[in-house]
Amino acid sequence: MKNPIYEEKVNKFMAYIMAKNPAELEFHQAVREVVESIVPYIEENPIYTEERILERICEPERVIIFRVPWIDDKGNIQVNRGFRIEMNSAIGPYKGGLRFHPTVNLGILKFLAFEQVFKNSLTTLPMGGGKGGSDFDPKGKSEKEVMRFCQSFMTELCKHIGPNTDVPAGDIGVGGREIGYLFGQYKRIRNEFTGVLTGKNILWGGSLIRPEATGYGNVYFAQEMLKTRGETFEGKIVAVSGSGNVAQFTIEKVNELGGKCVTLSDSNGFIYDPKGIDSEKLKYIMWLKNEKRGRMKEYADKYACDYFPDERPWGIKCDVALPSATENEINGEQAKTLVKNGCICVSEGANMPSTPEAIEVYLAAKILFGPGKAANAGGVATSGLEMTQNSMRLSWTREEVDGRLQTIMKNIHKTCHKYGTKEDGFINYVDGANIGGFVKVADSMIAQGAV
């Protein structure tokens, strides 16, 4: 984005956003990325300026902040802060995950809720955007402490959500266990068995493929990108970060397609296993992370591979990188290393894992870059399919859900292609996803008046 007229408009708008939302750095980062894509588009379509769509879309419809007191195993009172950002309901009920992590604050959740609006729009399903969570750290807490926390959190949240109002799900620190405790408390207080949360257990209203969906969806999206250059996953060396739900099912799908995943990470460091993380090792990781709730260092000890404390895997030579941990986990220098080592594709399983400097490096090198709001939309898309099944009181087979997920990821790729293809044929998926996600929401907002 080098046009000085556009640059001036972006800077002016960002000055307004920064003054209005001080100290919310990640929110500023997410807004700037979108606005850089959108400004040239709205210059050609002045209705969006007349309708003040940018100002409106950056202002949450509602923000709920609440106290979450709970009793730890020693009988002491603990206090955390709970949030729900109801960002935009132009195309459907607010929809988006809950994150339980000590780094959670208003700015982090606003960035996530903002991204969610565009991501959900790209899925083509009728879902608005929201996000919530708490600065509660599930790490090191007992089962009962997690349960008491979830119950207290839902005691307040249940006043604000509902299957036609706002439908939360999981994110970092919120998996099947937490969704169970949250659902149980909602049902108890509201006396309603309803699809108010997604990511539920298959026994009580969940959807098949929902656990797999974010990881599988990201691989399907990367597959579509690779196809544009006549490439496949067959024989590719793949660097994956994270070790939670997204990373685990990313590995499963890459293995199925003949690629080899050689890295994984957690907040303490990363493992490098040049022989590849096969299905047996993956089974161990699932046990280690989902049941034992241990650390990746234990994998390195068990399989005698290298472990790099306090580092990220981007220095390892790979063909494809699938960041699946958290925001800002690849900086400009690391992106340069990836490109220098021959990486041809970066597809984001996490939300905003690449810094703006890293994105600049990918785009300058013209490698395939799938931003999270397109590439990881398979998770929330399958949440949308869970909502549909709940409404019908029916459940689909694995094949049915997986087939729909694949179609959705292909369609998101098509949308990016439509809005992101440049004169020289290069597909800028950042512009494609931002403009493609924006148009549907903006047009719906206009149709519904100044609300």
- Shortest Cβ distance from residue 451 to ligand GLU (Å)? 23
**d(C-alpha 139, C-alpha 355), whole Å:** 26
State yes or no: residue 121 binds ligand GLU (CB under 6 A).
no
- Shortest Cβ distance from residue 274 to ligand GLU (Å)? 31
Angle at 106 between CA 126 and CA 327, to 5 degrees: 75
State yes or no: residue 138 binds ligand GLU (CB under 6 A).
no
**d(C-alpha 400, C-alpha 446), whole Å:** 35
Q: Is 191 helix (H, G, I), strand (E, B) or coil?
A: coil
- Shortest Cβ distance from residue 315 to ligand GLU (Å)? 27
User: Is 131 marked active-site?
Assistant: yes
What backbone phi and psi angles, to 5 degrees, belong to 130? -155, 170
**d(C-alpha 207, C-alpha 218), whole Å:** 18
- Between residues 169 and 300, which has the closer beta carbon with respect to ligand GLU? 169
- The residue annotated as part of the active site, out of 110, 119, 131, 373, is 131
- Shortest Cβ distance from residue 240 to ligand GLU (Å)? 17
Q: Based on the number of CB atoms within 10 Å of its own CB, is 21 exposed (0-12), middle (13-18) or buried (19 or more)? A: middle
Q: Site size for ligand GLU, by CB under 6 A?
A: 10
| Binding test (CB under 6 A) with ligand GLU, winner from 92, 96, 129, 215 | 96
DSSP 8-class letter at 320:
E
- Shortest Cβ distance from residue 140 to ligand GLU (Å)? 23
- Between residues 13 and 181, which has the closer beta carbon with respect to ligand GLU? 181
**d(C-alpha 330, C-alpha 347), whole Å:** 12
State yes or no: residue 404 binds ligand GLU (CB under 6 A).
no
Task: Please identify, among the stretches 24-32, 95-103, 335-343, 354-362, the one whose residues bind ligand GLU according to the rule CB under 6 A.
Answer: 95-103
- Shortest Cβ distance from residue 435 to ligand GLU (Å)? 20
Residue 2 makes CB contacts below 8 A (sequence gap 6+) with: none
| Binding test (CB under 6 A) with ligand GLU, winner from 171, 273, 327, 402 | 171
Task: Please identify, among the stretches 91-99, 237-245, 311-319, 332-340, the one whose residues bind ligand GLU according to the rule CB under 6 A.
Answer: 91-99
| Binding test (CB under 6 A) with ligand GLU, winner from 89, 185, 198, 389 | 198
Residues 290-349 that bind ligand GLU (CB under 6 A): none
Contact 322, 218 (CB under 8 A): yes
Contact 405, 379 (CB under 8 A): no
Instruction: Return the closest-CA partner of residue 64 out of 27, 102, 109.
Output: 109
- Between residues 128 and 259, which has the closer beta carbon with respect to ligand GLU? 128
- Shortest Cβ distance from residue 424 to ligand GLU (Å)? 32
- Between residues 265 and 351, which has the closer beta carbon with respect to ligand GLU? 351
CB atoms within 10 A of CB 93: 18
Q: Hey, which bits of 353-402 come out as E strands? A: 368-370
Give the DSSP per-residue string, 396-441.
--HHHHHHHHHHHHHHHHHHHHHHHB-TTS-B-HHHHHHHHHHHHH
- Shortest Cβ distance from residue 405 to ligand GLU (Å)? 12
Q: Based on the number of CB atoms within 10 Å of its own CB, is 354 exposed (0-12), middle (13-18) or buried (19 or more)? A: buried
- Between residues 96 and 313, which has the closer beta carbon with respect to ligand GLU? 96
**What does each C-alpha distance from 434 to 108, 116, 151, 169, 439 come to in angstroms?**
19, 11, 37, 23, 9
- Shortest Cβ distance from residue 365 to ligand GLU (Å)? 27
| Binding test (CB under 6 A) with ligand GLU, winner from 245, 383, 415, 428 | 383
| Binding test (CB under 6 A) with ligand GLU, winner from 244, 371, 379, 432 | 379
Q: For ligand GLU, which residue has the nearest CB?
A: 97
- Between residues 339 and 389, which has the closer beta carbon with respect to ligand GLU? 389
- Between residues 88 and 383, which has the closer beta carbon with respect to ligand GLU? 383
- Between residues 226 and 350, which has the closer beta carbon with respect to ligand GLU? 350
Query: For the chain, how far is it from start to end, CA to CA, in angstroms?
Result: 32
| Binding test (CB under 6 A) with ligand GLU, winner from 380, 385, 412, 416 | 380
The residue with tokens 């007349």 is: 50
State yes or no: residue 95 binds ligand GLU (CB under 6 A).
yes
State yes or no: residue 371 binds ligand GLU (CB under 6 A).
no
Q: Please report which helix (H) or strand (E) contains residue 238, including its range.
A: strand 237-240
**d(C-alpha 153, C-alpha 164), whole Å:** 20
Contact 294, 288 (CB under 8 A): yes
- Between residues 353 and 432, which has the closer beta carbon with respect to ligand GLU? 353
Q: Is the dihedral of CA 152, 155, 160, 163 positive or negative?
A: positive
The site for ligand GLU (CB under 6 A) is made up of: 95-97, 169, 171, 198, 351, 379-380, 383
* Residues annotated catalytic, as ranges: 131
